[in-house]
Amino acid sequence: AIKDPRVMAENGLRDKVLSLDSMNPWVKRVEYAVRGPVLVRAVELEEELRQGVKKPFTEVIKANIGDAHAMASAPSPSCCQVHQGPGLDPGLGEQGLRVRSEGHRQSCGGGSPGLGEQGLRVRTQVTPGPCPLCAAPAHPSLSPQTMLKLLVSGEGQSRTGVMIPIPQYPLYSAGIAELNAVQVNYYLDEEHCWALDVGELRRALRQARGHCQPRVLCIINPGNPTGTTGAGNGTGAFVLQGAPAPIQTHVYAEGVRVPYSFKERSFEMAHYSQSPSLHLSPPRCGLRGGYMEVVNLDPAVQQQLSKLVSVRLCPPVPGQVLLDVVMNPPKPGEPSYQSFIREKQAVLSDLAHKAQLTQEIFSQVPGIHCNPVQGAMYSFPRIQIPARAVQEAQVRGFAPDMFFCLQLLEETGICVVPGSGFGEREGTYHFRMTILPHVEKLRIVLKKLSQFYAKFIQEYS
């Protein structure tokens, strides 16, 4: 029963057990712009449209996130067939995929839905035993989130520093804030297609050593939000290579190696003793799974990592199943190989076309600069914002590109994410949008966005 507050006060229970003052202070530092104020307002606008409120648009287009299915893209047939399993329909799918699905079912103890931490054996790109590029053992795991917990330690100037690219995907900064580590920014070179510059890495490292102990270098490849790829250079830190969405093979620019192996580069440079941790997610939104590979880890620390992983019990089975499809696609000669290749080529070709279309249309708009989209599923255009609009944004308590994105949403129904949520050089403004909508809808989005920008510039110039 709920007691009268006056009775609780008499018993000495005057304060809430959990309040903003008493909660974990590091959680309050966590921010995630992708589902921030712009999306909150977009959801409100959708409800207003359903209630019949008149707007300058008839639908809200959520171009803020790379959810292929939300953009009406068909699920991957090969993933669906393996995931659904052979028991539903004896004629389901192709023979190779039915065999794969039956193997997963048999690997579940007694047929129960639990594959265990190592149940799927991420065996093609990541295998237990000696690393092919060195003499040290490699350790695969299906719980990549645990690695940063092991790396964060110290207090004050000895606190672990984590170097992340700017712009970055905000889950990295959120994870750093949650663990009370020190975020160390290194800026990608926008004028050279968001290249990773060694001199900038050294600058960031040198400055960081004055107030923390840099121990981790995070590299996002292909870039999110930038949609570009790049070559890596080591710093002697523990390297964390990440792709926060199923995009490591979504590279379609001509002449770009797919995928670029930072692990391989680190072992070409013999004086680096610890190699990347690699992250991957499977290609079905809502069915997440990931892996990491740790090479040259101290055996005693490896035991601690195993302990930390074990307390998480078993990762979700559907994610494990689809991860195996991603890591071990059909090979030449197998029954499902040709259909898999057709499916993959169709997806990449479609993305390449939409990437080119995005750049071409934005490049025709004065005040918008868009680098070529080489991979992944996003563009990250830079926009000029007039001084009057910057002042208006400050009066309302918004970052200038947040103000732009909110105005865009109110007038067009297009939901994109402000660049300030990913990090950007001071005085520059951007937004991130996905290129996933079907071509015709993408044309409409790009046209409306370009027209709104021209109007916005005129209004505030």
pLDDT digits (tens, 9 = 90+) for 302-314: 888 888 877 766 6
> For residue 374, what are its two tokens?
């080489």
Q: Is the pTM of this model over 0.85?
A: no
* Same domain for 48 and 152: no
Answer yes or no: is 261 within a domain: yes
| Antiparallel, parallel or unpaired: β 213-220 and 160-166 | parallel
* Same domain for 277 and 362: no
CA distance 284 to 319: 9
Q: Determine the distance from the C-alpha atom of residue 1 to the mean position of all C-alpha atoms in its chain, rounded to a whole number.
A: 45
Q: What is the mean pLDDT of the chain?
A: 77
* Same domain for 199 and 131: yes
* Same domain for 451 and 396: yes
Answer yes or no: is 238 within a domain: yes
CA distance 265 to 228: 18
* Same domain for 250 and 372: no
Q: Determine the distance from the C-alpha atom of residue 347 to the mean position of all C-alpha atoms in its chain, rounded to a whole number.
A: 19
* Same domain for 145 and 290: yes
pLDDT at 353: 93
pLDDT at 268: 63
* Same domain for 152 and 200: yes
Assign residue 296 the CATH number of its domain. 3.40.640.10
pLDDT at 157: 93
CA distance 395 to 157: 36
| Domain boundaries, position 403 | 31-73+340-460
Are 380 and 429 in contact by the 8 Å Cβ rule? The answer is no
Answer yes or no: is 103 within a domain: no
pLDDT at 229: 72
Answer yes or no: is 350 within a domain: yes
Residues near 424 by beta carbon (within 8 Å), at least 6 away in sequence: 166, 167, 401, 430
Picking from 327, 360, 376, the residue at the C-terminal end of a domain is 327
* Same domain for 253 and 155: yes
Q: How many domains does the chain have?
A: 2
pLDDT at 374: 82
* Same domain for 395 and 276: no
Bin 50: left if φ > 0, else alpha if -120 < ψ < 50, else beta: alpha
Picking from 297, 327, 357, the residue at the C-terminal end of a domain is 327
Q: Which amino acid is at 113?
A: P
